[in-house]
Chains A and B, each alone.
Chain A
Amino acid sequence: MSSPAIAAQEAAFLDLRRQRRRTTLLGLLVLAACLLLAAWTSEFHPATLAAGLPRIGEYFARIAPALEWNKLFADVETEGSLAFWFYRLDAWAILLFETAQMAALATLAGAVVALLLAFPAAKNTGAPAWAYQASRRFLEATRTVPEIVFALIFVWAFGVGALAGILAIALHTAGALGKLFADAMENVEMRPWDGVRASGGTWSEACRFAVLPAALPDLLSYAMLRFEINLRSASVIGFVGAGGIGEELYKVISFNYYEEISAILLLIILSVMVIDMLSERLRRRVIEAVA
């Protein structure tokens, strides 16, 4: 039924499949070995995990508020009511608002720096080697150092307050966004670039007219995403005295004010959700307007 040529091809196919399976198996074994090594060095012991898991539940049980159905909508003085749980809502709301402003300002400042550095950091714009290397390395350095480290430095320099937090997040944002911006710019079509250069435009004019309009929707998209991330960062960064709701959260955690921990966490989650929804709507609008 089958000619020798077909049989030979079938044999070759089986051979190839065997070879591929061997490669895949080998790859999986290497991966498993790496995982085990990583778990061992980072002391990720299954026994500790099993022992600790119930304690997480225990903590949540502790911070859960003691609400009572019949008193749920009673006033601040009554134990078991919502108002009693959120008794410092006015102060927390102001702190949350401050946190959101920190995130917004830091995102904006970081995005401006990122935009300016992304042009030389994009390979296709053909910036001089020193400018390319300098911008790439600066962006790497700023995004590798965690915000909290920057915040500690700035708190030491400028004192306790929101300014330190804003600067810390802005610096990290510049690094993180700058890389994404540069990558987005590397994907734009280069014909307009030739058009601007061929008519005598400078390098910066080619960046402005040939690269920016094509990359803009992507850049906005990344910046909005970063805003959401920065809101979370701004909530945590207060732990080191850099302003916002984080300071209050740190205080209630270290004093074991259990019910207040859950109240603040809930507020942060709610405001992140609201901002996520708003920014998604805004992003879609902006992209429609630009596209």
Chain B
Amino acid sequence: MLEIEGLTRRFGSVKAVDGVSLTVPAGQMVGVIGRSGAGKSTLLRLINRLAEPSEGRIRFDGRDVTALSGRALRDWRTECAMIFQQFNLVQRLDVLTNVLIGRLNHRHGVLARLGSLFCQFSPAERAMALAALERFDLLSTALQRADTLSGGQQQRVAICRALMQEPRLILADEPIASLDPRNARTVMDALAEVNRRDGLTVMVNLHHLDTAREYCTRVIAMQQGRVVFDGAPAELNAARITQIYGITEAEFQAEAAAAVNATPAHGFGPQVALA
């Protein structure tokens, strides 16, 4: 169970995330919606600790995630896998190696770590990666370079990489915003399948309300860093959207889509804490 208490992140005088408190039981598929700049991406990056919180606490099964550093922080990141809008694969490396990157933190001991740096993975690890690729119909692409794949394929490779981490939580930041509708569907189906079959908790940022209603069991709406709605997707009807955001659902979607495509995905620069 993921518990967030009073989580705040300031960028200068702006509060990107402002006093968010949430409880996500294991196995839920949670959609996070909001206009551009509402703090959805920052919220997910805070949970994975790619961004550092200014205030507040994140706990997972009673463990204080905000206090972790070094080895323990890397272990936490392995437990909560991240999916990015721009996939964040290594373009010049082949698909198989990209998937094996998800395995890096499962390799213990100096020799194994040294081996990683020379791309030395065991047959068992390769078998695991190939099985993940086969599951999402990507087996034939294993030896291709990542940049030869379509966007939808790349995002599914990213999901394979995430699964190699054997995570308990998947954080997906606008995973389908850069994809055409057909590829978006395959990616959302993949996430839903991971949620149902592997029982992983999934938190996914979306700008498309219909997608959130179709796939998620719970929807959280954010506005200026705050949670303004938290409930069943059916409750977030058109009237409620207008009430919260002051615009119609169609306007909301058009605006969010434009914003997602216009802003660079890597907006905050490398704020990665050193582990």
- Closest-by-CB residue of A relative to B161 is A199
Checking B92, B97, B102, B116 against A199 with a beta-carbon cut-off of 8 angstroms, the contacting residue is B102
Query: Which A110-144 residues have a C-beta within 8 angstroms of B?
Result: 124-128
Contact A200 B78 (CB under 8 A): yes
Q: Which 6 A-B pairs have the closest CB atoms?
A: A195-B88, A200-B105, A200-B78, A198-B82, A213-B92, A200-B77
Q: Which residues of A contact B88 (CB under 8 A)?
A: 191-192, 194-195, 198
Nearest Cβ on chain A to B63's Cβ, whole angstroms: 15
Task: Give the A-binding residues of B (Cβ under 8 A).
Answer: 48, 50, 74-78, 81-82, 84, 86-93, 97, 101-102, 104-105, 113, 116-117, 158, 161-162, 164-165, 265-266, 269-270, 272, 274-275
Contact A200 B117 (CB under 8 A): no
With A193-B272, A213-B93, A216-B92 as contacts: A201 and B104 at CB distance below 8 Å: yes
Contact A213 B90 (CB under 8 A): yes
Q: Interface size (A, Cβ < 8 Å)?
A: 30
Task: Give the B-binding residues of A (Cβ under 8 A).
Answer: 124-128, 189-205, 208-210, 213-214, 216, 290-291
Contact B105 A201 (CB under 8 A): yes
Contact A128 B274 (CB under 8 A): yes
CA distance in complex: A105, B270 (Å): 36
- Closest-by-CB residue of B relative to A127 is B274
- Closest-by-CB residue of B relative to A217 is B92
- Closest-by-CB residue of A relative to B97 is A209
Kindly count the residue-residue contacts between A and B in the assembled complex, taking CB atoms under 8 Å apart: 108
- Closest-by-CB residue of A relative to B92 is A213
Q: Which residues of B contact A127 (CB under 8 A)?
A: 274
CA distance in complex: A202, B77 (Å): 11
Q: Which residues of A contact B265 (CB under 8 A)?
A: 191
Contact A203 B165 (CB under 8 A): no
Nearest Cβ on chain A to B157's Cβ, whole angstroms: 11
With A200-B104, A201-B74, A201-B101 as contacts: A195 and B89 at CB distance below 8 Å: yes
With A190-B270, A198-B82 as contacts: A290 and B104 at CB distance below 8 Å: no
Nearest Cβ on chain A to B268's Cβ, whole angstroms: 10
Contact A124 B105 (CB under 8 A): no
CA distance in complex: A126, B28 (Å): 35
CA distance in complex: A202, B273 (Å): 11
Nearest Cβ on chain B to A133's Cβ, whole angstroms: 15
Q: Which residues of A contact B93 (CB under 8 A)?
A: 209, 213
Checking B81, B102, B165, B272 against A197 with a beta-carbon cut-off of 8 angstroms, the contacting residue is B272
CA distance in complex: A203, B162 (Å): 18
Residue from A197, A202, A210, A216 whose CB has the most chain B CB atoms within 10 Å: A197
With A124-B270, A213-B93 as contacts: A199 and B104 at CB distance below 8 Å: yes
Q: Which residues of A contact B162 (CB under 8 A)?
A: 199
With A192-B88, A203-B275, A213-B92 as contacts: A198 and B77 at CB distance below 8 Å: yes
CA distance in complex: A205, B75 (Å): 14
CA distance in complex: A195, B84 (Å): 8
With A191-B84, A201-B104 as contacts: A126 and B274 at CB distance below 8 Å: yes
Q: Which residues of B contact A196 (CB under 8 A)?
A: 90, 101, 104
Other A-B pairs beyond A197-B50, A203-B275, A213-B92, 6, CB < 8 Å: A191-B265, A195-B89, A199-B104, A200-B75, A201-B74, A214-B90
Contact B74 A195 (CB under 8 A): no
Contact B272 A208 (CB under 8 A): no
Contact A199 B266 (CB under 8 A): no
With A124-B270, A190-B266, A191-B266 as contacts: A199 and B105 at CB distance below 8 Å: yes
Contact A199 B78 (CB under 8 A): yes
Contact A214 B92 (CB under 8 A): yes
With A126-B274, A199-B78 as contacts: A194 and B92 at CB distance below 8 Å: no
With A126-B270, A191-B84, A205-B104 as contacts: A200 and B74 at CB distance below 8 Å: yes
Residue from A192, A196, A199, A209 whose CB has the most chain B CB atoms within 10 Å: A199
CA distance in complex: A50, B275 (Å): 64
Q: Which residues of A contact B87 (CB under 8 A)?
A: 191, 195
| Sample (12) of A-B pairs whose CB atoms are under 8 Å apart | A124-B270, A192-B91, A195-B101, A197-B275, A198-B82, A199-B78, A199-B82, A199-B101, A199-B164, A200-B77, A205-B113, A209-B93
Contact B81 A198 (CB under 8 A): yes
Nearest Cβ on chain A to B111's Cβ, whole angstroms: 14
